[in-house]
Structure 1
């Protein structure tokens, strides 16, 4: 029985020591993905295209709302000359048009709407490039975890020695040295 107890104590000590060393042996780093994306010319072009398309859709929707407002004003001006049935019919027609515009607005700007899909189409490949570069930098530096400084994760203190943003920029060919060479 004493050999069994000794074996249990040994195993318990071994796993406690091993897990303790494992926790302290992990390496962490962080990057600023937003900063990296803003350094990418493709990202600026994608953002400009998204802004342009968004403004076009906003103008189109505003124009439709102005047309509906004009329809309401015309109905109000003609109201005294119309029968109740004709007035109600025109009012229903205007409301139907108004609902169509609201539905179109939701289709364009709503959750997973056309604007969302366009952003996904244009920006996702850029995010994928950054994440691939982050993965390579993490492997090269033997990091177990890399955090995004610009994300929702709150970092109260960060030691710049663990900032791998420049390494990712180097991996993407966007470092300051590369910019100076191309000028």
Structure 2
């Protein structure tokens, strides 16, 4: 008896859990698309690209200087004494280490580029996150996925796409989206003109229509 009661309670619990899962709503957004619609984010990306390019050129110039030092050493090696060779080699190694240190300082983890990106883009990303949170609460969404994130979404039903609602929260919504129906082209039908002259009193001859006889051959219904 006790086993039957426990089994019955377990079934009720599973049914309740299934109903709760079915009641939960979910949706997804395309964060890259949202960010591309924010002018401040595009400006930040341009500034970051410019800074990155300038720093990369600086590193390339330093590498050219290192290469020049090494070639000069190779050309003069036969004329140098052992102490002079050792000194030149140490200078080359030191220069190489300085370049690596500088490169890591700029492009490494939590380097200047990383910090600058955080400075320029994090406030915008936080703004988008707040908009997503508002949409999730308004639409009663339990989970919101990011279509442009690391999560691979093999299929997405547009009915669960809340990207435009996030843009609406940011004041960047497209008026043509999220409407009950798509707007089609407006077609103007002109009133047919009344025939003039003798043709006004006569009715137009009907257009012959193709019919099929009992033997399967086609014939026209016009005059012979």
Flag whether TM exceeds 0.5 (same fold).
yes
Write the distance in 2 (CA, Å) between the matches of 1:160 and 1:32. 12
Q: Secondary structure at the match of 2:144?
A: strand
Alignment of 1:169-180 (within 5 A): 169-177=167-175
In the TM superposition, residue 94 of structure 1 has moved relative to its aligned partner by 1.4
Match of 1:107 among 105, 108, 116: 105
1:153-164 alignment to 2 at 5 Å? 153-164=151-162
Q: Distance in 2 between matches of 1:104 and 1:62?
A: 12
- What's the counterpart of residue 122 of structure 2? 124
**Residue deviations 1:120-161 (CA, integer Å, cap 9, x gap):** 221111111111100100110011011001111111111111
Q: Where does 1:1-16 land on structure 2 (aligned, <5 Å)?
A: 8=6, 11-16=9-14
Superposed structure 1 runs of 4+ greater than 4 Å apart: 4-7
Q: Kindly tell me: are residues 5 and 86 of structure 1, through their superposed partners in 2, closer, same or farther at Cα, counting changes over 3 Å?
A: closer
Instruction: Give runs of aligned pairs for residues 49-60 of structure 1, distance below 5 A.
Output: 49-60=47-58
Q: TM-score under structure 2 normalisation?
A: 0.73
Structure 1 residue ranges without an equivalent (≥5): 179-183
Pick 1 or 2: higher relative contact order, CA cutoff 8 A, min separation 6.
Answer: 1
Give the whole-Å Cα distance in 2 for the aligned partners of 1:74 and 1:154.
Answer: 53
Unaligned runs of 5+ in 2: 177-224
CA drift at 1:20: 1.4
Structure 2 match to 1:142: 140
SS of 2:166's equivalent?
A: helix
Q: Secondary structure at the match of 2:50?
A: helix
Matched, 1:62 2:60: yes
User: For residues 30 and 142 of structure 2, what CA distance do their matches in structure 1 show?
Assistant: 17
The answer for the alignment partner of 2:71 in structure 1 is: 73
SS of the residue corresponding to residue 141 of structure 2 reads coil
SS at match of 1:176: coil
Helix, strand or coil at the partner of 1:146: strand
- Decide which of 17, 20, 38 is 2:18's aligned counterpart: 20
Aligned length: 176
Tell me how far apart the structure 1 counterparts of residues 4 and 92 of structure 2 sit (CA, whole Å). Answer: 87
Q: Report the equivalent of 1:181.
A: none
Report which stretch shifted further, 59-68 or 76-85: 76-85
1:83 paired with 2:66, answer no
For normalisation by structure 1, the TM-score amounts to 0.88
Q: Relative to structure 1, is the Cα distance of residues 141 and 92 closer, same or farther in structure 2, using a 3 angstrom cutoff? A: same
